[in-house]
Chains A and B, each alone.
Chain A
Amino acid sequence: MGLSDEALVAGMAAGDAQAAAGFVRRFQARVYGLALSIVGVSATAEDVAQEAFTRAWRFADGYDPRRAGVAPWLLAITRNAAIDAVRLRRDRPYEPGVLLAMLTRVDEGGSRHDDEIAEVDRVRTALRGLPVEQATAVVLAIFHGWTAKEIAEREGVPLGTTKTRIRLGMSRLRDHFEVRDE
């Protein structure tokens, strides 16, 4: 119903306050949910989510629909803002086991589009199918922003082992996920 996600972003790029309001309303639960899953503290998550919307508003004219849907684009911005906050505040984010359980649990769909629900199901199935060491390495990198070296130290394994886990985990995920290309 209403304007498409892309139309809202285009409206924001043109400085349309109504489009910005619609955009925030449509994505606030997604953005706040992701921020909270990374920083683990409600007040910080609120700040991070606001920062993510501010960045999206500022960079709306750089959004390229050929490269990513609006939701992945906005969530990537949110992820970056959240990781910045975690590094700065030295908050202790969720343990990877807790995060993995959250990611692989089926949700009701909430504000997702129908086609996105199918996409999410595919990724969730793929993540569930990964050996737990690979899933952990991938999740620590994506959600905590850790380098392979940091993950290796945390897991107490050689750096080469961590690199292999990330490579295999991401390759398997990609095989299950039909990637938008172009």
Chain B
Amino acid sequence: MSDQYDCLEVASLLPELAVGAAAGDERGRALAHVSRCVHCRRELGSFAATADAVLLLVPPVEPPPGFETATLARLGGARPTGPDVPVPARRPRWRARRLLAVAVAAAAALLIALGGGAALTHWRGADDRELADQYRRTLAVANGRYLKAAPLTSADGQRVGTSFLYQGNPSWLLVTVTGAPDGGDYAVLVIDRRGGAHRLGVGQITNHVGTAGFRLPVRVRDVAQVQLRSTDDTTVTPAILTSTL
């Protein structure tokens, strides 16, 4: 299902992939091949560099007065990637949603196995080995490769939940919110490392808590940030809640 294309078929799709014109299943299968083929990956990089070079053709235009000051003020409110600030979360009151039932169930099993889910690279001692073995077996059930977790914080740096990202087949994101400042519907987006925004769907927060799961359209290692935004405006205002990976 994931890699039915060979190099010849993918070669004709690489220009479309590079400019973002490939869509749907075709795009998914081509990218699955590219992720495993050094030659095609290099070719895609070459086309992507060409597409990026076309952007250089746009003539510079001086922005309106005050732009620089406003931008720097906004950067002052943005946090560069770095250590997250852990803050005690409110007592969670679970309200399960069935957005991606299988994934969420798998996540729950995995997280219970891991006792909360954190950095998963080094294992020490018998208990840890047992935990590692449990982790591997749990991943194997759903063709998983690894799990990442990152704190979800509000604009003022308060921890309000956790984002869990699972690399597998399929890959998915599970966002748990335990202390959101406001309730209502939130658009859930992931921002990739090239700055591309991928809107995954909408999650609901009631009484400050909520859980939502979505299929991930990009590889976990390519995800730079998870954002929860107002459903009215998902792009040009700062995210309401953010996880930085």
Tell whether A2 is near chain B: CB-to-CB under 8 Å: no
Known A61-B80, A62-B81; judge A177-B53 contact (CB<8 A): yes
B233 touches which one: A48, A58, A88, A127 (CB < 8 A)? A88
B147 to chain A, nearest CB (A): 20
Report how many residues on chain B are interfacial, defined by Cβ distance under 8 Å. 56
- Tell me how many residue pairs across A and B have CB atoms closer than 8 Å: 220
Q: In the assembled complex, which residues on chain B have CB atoms less than 8 Å from the CB atom of A124? A: 57
Interface size classification for chain A: 35 or more
Contact in complex: B54, A127 (CB < 8 Å) = yes
Q: In the complex, which residues of chain B have a beta carbon less than 8 angstroms from the beta carbon of A32?
A: 60-63, 67
Closest to B49 in A: A179
Q: Mark B1-31, 1 if CB is under 8 A from A, else 0.
A: 0000000000010011011111100000000
Which chain A residues border B234 with CB–CB below 8 Å? 84, 88
A67 to B236, CA, bound (A): 27
Residues of the B chain whose Cβ atoms lie less than 8 Å from the Cβ of A24: 68, 71-72, 75
Could you say which residues of chain A place their CB within 8 Å of the CB of B18? 170
* Interface residues of chain A: helix, strand, loop or mixed (majority): helix
Q: Tell me whether A57 and B53 are in contact in the complex, defined as CB-CB below 8 angstroms, given that A46-B64, A85-B235, A88-B234 are known contacts.
A: no
Q: Contact between B71 and A67 (Cβ–Cβ < 8 Å)? A: no
Closest B residue to A145 using CB positions = B20
Report yes or no: A49 in contact with B67, Cβ–Cβ below 8 A.
yes
Contact between B19 and A61 (Cβ–Cβ < 8 Å)?
no
A54 touches B47 (CB 8 A): no
Q: Is A133 an interface residue (CB 8 A)?
A: no
User: What are the residues of chain A within 8 A of B194 when measuring CB–CB?
Assistant: 73, 76-77, 80
Q: Mark A86-119, 1 if CB is under 8 A from B, else 0.
A: 0010000000000000111101001110001001
The residue that B21 contacts in the complex, of A34, A80, A88, A147, with Cβ under 8 A, is A147
User: 1/0 contact trace for A16-33 toward B, CB 8 Å?
Assistant: 010011001100111011
Query: Are A50 and B54 in contact, CB atoms less than 8 angstroms apart?
Result: no
User: Is A8 an interface residue when CB atoms closer than 8 A count as contact?
Assistant: no
B63 touches A166 (CB 8 A): no
Tell me whether B195 and A28 are in contact (CB under 8 A).
no
Bound-state Cα–Cα, A50 to B68, Å: 9
CA distance A25 to B71 in the complex (A): 10
A-B contact pairs, 20 of them (CB 8 A): A21-B68, A50-B67, A54-B78, A56-B195, A72-B49, A72-B55, A75-B55, A76-B194, A76-B195, A80-B196, A81-B235, A84-B197, A85-B236, A103-B58, A104-B57, A110-B60, A138-B19, A166-B21, A174-B46, A181-B49
Q: Considering the complex of A and B, which 8 residue pairs feature the smallest CB-CB distances, nearest first?
A: A77-B195, A170-B15, A29-B60, A33-B61, A47-B236, A72-B52, A32-B63, A141-B19
Further pairs besides A58-B80, A84-B197, A142-B19: 12, Cβ < 8 Å: A24-B71, A53-B71, A56-B195, A57-B78, A61-B81, A62-B81, A72-B53, A73-B52, A75-B55, A104-B57, A163-B16, A181-B42
